[in-house]
Structure formats: C-alpha cells, structure tokens
C-alpha cells in the first residue's frame, strides 16, 4: 500500500509532458513494447480484472473475458500486427508548377499528452481500448477510470503502473472533483466515453486550450423488424444483444419498431428467447448481470410501467437484480421512450410500416447504432440511405464494434470522432503534410 498523497493532476501532466518532450514515447519500439506489456497485464492478471468486474457489475467470468479482457487483447494484437503499415508515410502527387524533383507526403505525428476518461459499464475495455490507440500513436497518456466501477478502477490503478512505463502513462482515479481538476490542465487530445451532459462539460473545458476531443456518447439505438422475417432468429439475437451486461451497453438495442402483427408474434418469440438464454428464473443465472447501483436501479424501475409487461418486470433492489424485461403497447411519449434506457428493458413500439419507422428515427437524435432485421434489399438500402447513425447493423446487434477494421463512434448527439484499429491512429495522431524540394 502506498500511503503518500496522490500526485496533483498538474504534476502528473507536467511529468508526462517532460517524458513526451524528451522523445520517450516516439520510437515505434517503445510503442509496441508498451502494447506487449499491456497484453501481458491482461493475460497474467485477467483473473483480478474479472473478479473486479464481477464485484462491480455481476459480470460472469466468461462475459468479462469476452467483452472486456479478450476484446482488448484482440485490439492489441490487431494493432501490433498492422502498426508499421498504418504508420507508413503516404505519398501525395505534386502539382507540375513545383517541378519534377519535388515530393510530398503525409506522416503521422503523435499529439503529445492525451487524456482518456472512461465510464462504468465496460470499465476495463472502455479505458484500455483507447489507451491502446493512444500508445500505438506515440503519446503519453493519463487514464481516468470511472468511480462508479470502484473495484475495476482500483485494479487498473494498481496494475497499469506495475506493467507500463510510469514516466509516460498515469492513472488518475476519482469522481467529479478529480476529473474537473484534470480537465483544467492542457492536453493534446481528450477522449471521453460517457453521457452527453458530461460530454458538453468536457468539450467546454477542452475549448479553453483548443484541445481536440473525441466524444463517445450514447442515446437510444433503434431496431427495425420487418414483416416476414424469421422471428425466432430475430428474437434470439435481439435478446442476446439487449440483455448482455443487463442492458448496460452503449450500443444495446434500445427499442423495437415494428408493425402491429409482427409485434404480437415477436413478443412470444422474445419470451422464449429470454428463457433460452437465462432459464425460467434469470435471477439464478450466472450469465445475467446486475444493475450498477441503486440510483440506476430506481431510475429503471420507474420505467417498468411504460407498457404492458410481456416478460420480466420484476426486480430486487437489495441485490440490484432487474429481470430481462420486454414491454409491449408502448406509447412513443411514455417515460421509457424519453431517455436512453441503459438497462434490461426492451419496449416494442408499433408503426404502420417502413416509411413511418424511418420518420420515427429521423424525428429523434441521431443514434449511436441502428439495427435492421429485414430480408428485403430495398428496405435495407432505404434505411441505410435515409437515416443517420454512428453504426448500422443488419441482422445482428452489437457485433459491428468487434470488427477492428470498422471505425467505432457516434454522430450528432451520439458523439464525434471514432476509434478502433487504424481509426485509433487517425484519432490520436496529427496527419502532417510535408513538401520537400531539393535545394539544387
């Protein structure tokens, strides 16, 4: 145990800035070395992280590995495999008036000292995956885990300094006061994942120093289920995506839009899907998580009477268990439709058809993800062309974010900027334009 008082944010940043200025983080060998150390941390101490994730969110070991630990290992491996190629300078054609001996190219420069602020719902993955990109790009990094996942925050604060270069990577734990103090410092990039209210606070603080930001936010991600689809498959995939981490996933299907006839058949299929996943009593399933805290439990419980309960609708505040719940006959103006649900409640809203579904989506904030279950190419193409969302999933929720070569991020209210794979290099680097003309 270290009893000395925590280093002040200004001192942390000054220390990292000195290391950055000395060129410590720039060599590709340093970057790949740090990524390998981070990988070792995840494989050697994965069990500690999994235990913390279980304490914070009731995640099963399998889920902790699949969605956080192994997920981050894959992101590291993908980056190690391709980094040299991603960082290669890219030649640009030179206009004739500069002469045949002139050459031009772009090259990726690190930004400097970057700040990563993470939320509580995937508290390891959402801190570490951006850190992978920041290190791969040659930056020094301050990582701020979420105080609402305290066990995970504590483990990360212990492990990261034990594995990574402490001159260039620091963890600052804490809540609003500590984060506010950090945000007063000058960073070269701020990468924030969380809600839009705090996103605005982050962006305002960043504006003081003209610091660029990436904002990975949330919102209500709709699902459109077309007539004539195989509803057993739809319900199975929807339930799996929705109830993972007890619905506390930024790209979880938030609500379903479908026609009244399909809705009736989908209700029955969802009941079977929930039972197939978690058994007759999900409270006893090891695969089913818990709500992060009482405040969110109470917020979610208040949404349960926004419709007719098809399945679930019950909870236990003492253990923060909230059953996987499907609500039907939901009024678009009801409380459950007014905010991002971020919990295990799936409302079904009926619309006459595709035109109304598209209008419904476009009348609201641009979502982080949009999911379409349809056999019709025309329907799929119309939704792709006529709506805007951070990502679009045909036939499978959530999975787009596991494709390392796709950018992950929002648009409008769901955020700005993106990351994963080579898009993390774009985010955490400056693409410098270079022109070279020989003197003779």
Tokens representing 80 are: 């190690």
Look-up: residue for tokens 């939704």?
A: 383
216 carries an active-site annotation = yes
Residue of closest CB approach to ligand NAD: 218
User: Of 46, 110, 133, 218, which one interacts with ligand NAD (CB under 6 A)?
Assistant: 218
What is the separation of C-alpha 257 from the centre of its chain, rounded to a whole number of angstroms? 24
CA–CA dist 47, 155 (Å, integer):
11
Q: Please report how close the Cβ of residue 215 comes to ligand NAD at its closest, in angstroms.
A: 8
Name 275's Cβ contacts closer than 8 Å, sequence gap at least 6: none
User: Of 194, 247, 253, 367, which one interacts with ligand NAD (CB under 6 A)?
Assistant: 194
User: Of 34, 121, 137, 429, which one interacts with ligand NAD (CB under 6 A)?
Assistant: 121
- Active-site hit among 63, 68, 75, 216: 216
CA–CA dist 30, 169 (Å, integer):
12
Q: Interface with ligand NAD includes 201 (CB under 6 A)?
A: yes
Task: Report phi then psi at 411, rounded to 5.
Answer: -145, 145
- Rounded to 10 degrees, the C-alpha dihedral 151/157/159/164 comes to 150
Please tell me whether residue 255 adopts helix, strand or coil conformation. Answer: strand
User: Of 126, 141, 231, 328, which one interacts with ligand NAD (CB under 6 A)?
Assistant: 126
Q: Interface with ligand NAD includes 175 (CB under 6 A)?
A: yes
Q: Please report how close the Cβ of residue 232 comes to ligand NAD at its closest, in angstroms.
A: 29
Quick one: DSSP state of residue 336?
Answer: G
CA–CA dist 300, 289 (Å, integer):
15
User: Of 159, 164, 217, 270, which one interacts with ligand NAD (CB under 6 A)?
Assistant: 217
Q: Please report how close the Cβ of residue 426 comes to ligand NAD at its closest, in angstroms.
A: 16
Task: Report phi then psi at 283, rounded to 5.
Answer: -60, -25
> Which 244-263 positions form the footprint of ligand NAD (CB under 6 A)?
250
User: Of 52, 64, 83, 117, which one interacts with ligand NAD (CB under 6 A)?
Assistant: 117
Beta-strand pair 222-225/255-258: parallel
The span of 20-28, 36-44, 190-198, 233-241 binding ligand NAD (CB under 6 A) equals 190-198
Q: No. of H helices and E strands in the chain?
A: 15, 18
Q: Which of 368, 343, 212 is nearest to 290 (CA)?
A: 343
User: Of 18, 33, 103, 147, which one interacts with ligand NAD (CB under 6 A)?
Assistant: 147
The span of 40-48, 91-99, 189-197, 377-385 binding ligand NAD (CB under 6 A) equals 189-197
SS3 sequence of 133-172: HHHHCCCEEEEECCCCCHHHHHHHHHHHHHHCCCCCEEEC
User: Of 146, 152, 211, 379, which one interacts with ligand NAD (CB under 6 A)?
Assistant: 146
Contact status, residue 124 vs residue 153, Cβ threshold 8 Å: no
Q: Please report how close the Cβ of residue 178 comes to ligand NAD at its closest, in angstroms.
A: 8
User: Of 49, 50, 118, 310, which one interacts with ligand NAD (CB under 6 A)?
Assistant: 118
Query: For residues 212 and 367, which CB has a smaller minimum distance to ligand NAD in the complex?
Result: 367
The span of 85-93, 211-219, 269-277, 324-332 binding ligand NAD (CB under 6 A) equals 211-219
Please count the residues of this chain forming the interface with ligand NAD, following the rule CB under 6 A: 28
Percentages helix, strand, coil for the chain, rounded to the nearest 5?
Answer: 45, 20, 35
CA–CA dist 337, 435 (Å, integer):
53
Map residues 88-107 to x or -, x wherever contact with ligand NAD holds by CB under 6 A: --------------------
Q: Interface with ligand NAD includes 75 (CB under 6 A)?
A: no
Residues making contact with ligand NAD (CB under 6 A): 117-121, 126, 144, 146-148, 175-176, 179-180, 193-195, 198, 201, 216-218, 250, 340, 342, 368, 410, 415
């Amino acid at each position: 145990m270290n009893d000395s008082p925590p280093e002040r944010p200004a001192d942390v940043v000054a220390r990292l800035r000195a290391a950055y200025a000395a060129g410590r983080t720039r060599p590709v060998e340093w970057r790949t070395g740090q990524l390998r150390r981070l990988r070792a941390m995840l494989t050697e101490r994965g069990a500690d992280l999994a235990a913390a994730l279980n304490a914070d969110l009731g995640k099963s070991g399998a889920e902790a590995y699949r969605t956080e630990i192994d997920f981050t290992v894959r992101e590291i491996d993908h980056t190690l495999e391709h980094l040299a190629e991603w960082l290669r300078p890219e030649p640009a054609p030179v206009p004739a008036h500069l002469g045949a001996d002139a050459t031009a190219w772009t090259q990726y420069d690190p930004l400097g000292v970057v700040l990563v602020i993470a939320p509580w719902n995937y508290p390891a993955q959402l801190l570490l995956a951006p850190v992978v990109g920041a290190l791969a790009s040659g930056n020094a990094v301050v990582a701020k885990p979420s105080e609402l996942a305290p066990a995970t925050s504590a483990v990360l604060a212990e492990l990261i300094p034990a594995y990574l270069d402490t001159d260039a990577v620091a963890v600052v734990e804490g809540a609003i006061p500590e984060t506010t103090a950090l945000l007063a410092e000058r960073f070269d990039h701020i990468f924030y994942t969380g809600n839009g209210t705090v996103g605005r606070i982050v962006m305002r603080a960043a504006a003081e120093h003209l610091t660029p930001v990436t904002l990975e936010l949330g919102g209500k991600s709709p699902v459109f289920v077309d007539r004539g689809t195989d509803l057993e498959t739809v319900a199975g995939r929807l339930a799996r995506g929705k109830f993972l981490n007890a619905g506390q996933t930024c790209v979880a299907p938030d609500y379903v839009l479908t026609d009244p006839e399909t809705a009736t058949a989908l209700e029955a299929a969802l009941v079977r899907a929930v039972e197939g996943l978690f058994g007759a009593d999900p409270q006893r399933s090891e695969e089913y998580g818990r709500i992060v805290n009482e405040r969110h439990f109470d917020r979610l419980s208040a949404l349960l009477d926004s419709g007719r309960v098809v399945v679930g609708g019950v909870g236990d505040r003492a253990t923060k268990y909230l059953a996987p719940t499907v609500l039907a006959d939901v009024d678009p103006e009801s409380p459950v439709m007014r905010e991002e649900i971020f919990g295990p409640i799936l409302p079904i809203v009926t619309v006459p058809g595709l035109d109304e579904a598209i209008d419904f989506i476009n009348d609201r904030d641009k979502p982080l993800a949009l999911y379409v279950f349809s056999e019709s190419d025309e329907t799929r193409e119309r939704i792709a062309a006529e709506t805007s969302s951070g990502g679009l999933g045909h036939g499978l929720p959530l999975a787009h974010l596991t494709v390392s070569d796709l950018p992950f991020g929002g648009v409008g209210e769901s955020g700005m900027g993106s990351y994963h794979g080579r898009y993390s290099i774009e985010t955490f680097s400056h693409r410098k334009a270079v022109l070279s003309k020989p003197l003779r």
